[in-house]
Amino acid sequence: MTTTEPSPASPGTAERSAEARQEEILARARTTGRVMVTELAPELGVSVETVRRDLKVLADRGVVERVYGGAVALESGSFETSLEFRAGRDIDEKHRIARAALQHRHGAETIYIDEGTMPQFLAEELLGQGPATIITPSLPVATRLSGDPDLTVIVLGGRVRTITRGVVDQWATRMLSDLVIDLAYIGANGISREQGLTTQDPSVAAVKRTAIERSRRRIFFGAHTKFGASSLCRFAGVRDFEALITGTELPSSEARRFAALGPRVIRA
């Protein structure tokens, strides 16, 4: 009987295996929104410690965020999480931000409300607050506000993006170019002192940029996780806004750094 000695692993095999495993974890996170260490370990056939190391690598790359027991997917220039997934995160903070944002309306009668999840929280706060004309690219925002008899709701025309149900392309920007807006509430996928405000999709960036140009006043509102992040397409600078409204979760030291660029930073 003959025996065969196992061949030594070729250089780089372990590294390639780790890379493949991390790509699998990232793909799962992007599909489900969240992955758990105790579920990944047996499914991938590795130890819990190995999964934790993989998640640390992915977190260092900026594509996931570590949470208790696992990780959640973060958006990037080529990946965007679903509206439903984003709506379920940082709910308390988003309610606080929406209430603070509305307090800075200061009599504006014509209001632009951006697409995304934060605008839906703002829409809830606007109900029953008196007359206004609302301009929005967001179908969920328009649907929610259309039941208030005191509000005139204008929906931009154009192509509807499946992932956010927001309207984009030249029809939307052409319509915006004919309007004069008192106040624009603008969101972003990332806001950094170096890159300004960014989003993943060039067509979304074009709509945001046009809304900013047509508005007398501009307020950014978004969760603290947006600060320091950046995506593919820049559409505005930090100095373009009179105020940045976020949660108290943003460290005061970071708030001061953004305030040094000009806008008032409000932590709700």
* Numbered ranges of CATH 3.40.50.1360 in the chain: 87-267
Residues of the chain with pLDDT under 50: 1-16, 77-78
Closest CA to 187 of 267, 94, 96, 124: 94
Query: Helix 37-44 vs helix 13-32: angle between axes, to the nearest 10 degrees?
Result: 130
Starting at the edge strand found earlier in the chain, the sheet holding 196-199 runs: 190-192, 196-199, 233-236
pLDDT (0 to 100) of residue 7: 41
Q: What CATH architecture does domain 87-267 belong to?
A: 3-Layer(aba) Sandwich (3.40)
Taking the CA atoms of residue 87, residue 228, residue 242 and residue 82 in that order, the dihedral angle to the nearest 10 degrees is -20
pLDDT (0 to 100) of residue 106: 96
Q: Are 193 and 215 in contact (CB under 8 A)?
A: no
* Numbered ranges of CATH 1.10.10.10 in the chain: 13-74
Closest CA to 134 of 125, 146, 124, 116: 146
Residue 190 CB partners (closer than 8 Å, separation 6+): 75, 197, 198, 199, 226, 228, 229, 230, 231
pLDDT in tens, 180-238: 999 999 999 889 999 999 998 999 999 999 999 999 999 999 998 888 877 889 999 99
pTM of the model: 0.73
Distance CA 208, CA 15 (A): 42
CATH class of the structural domain 13-74: mainly alpha
Beta bridge mates, 154: 135
CB-facing half-sphere around the CA of 53: CA atoms within 13 A:
9
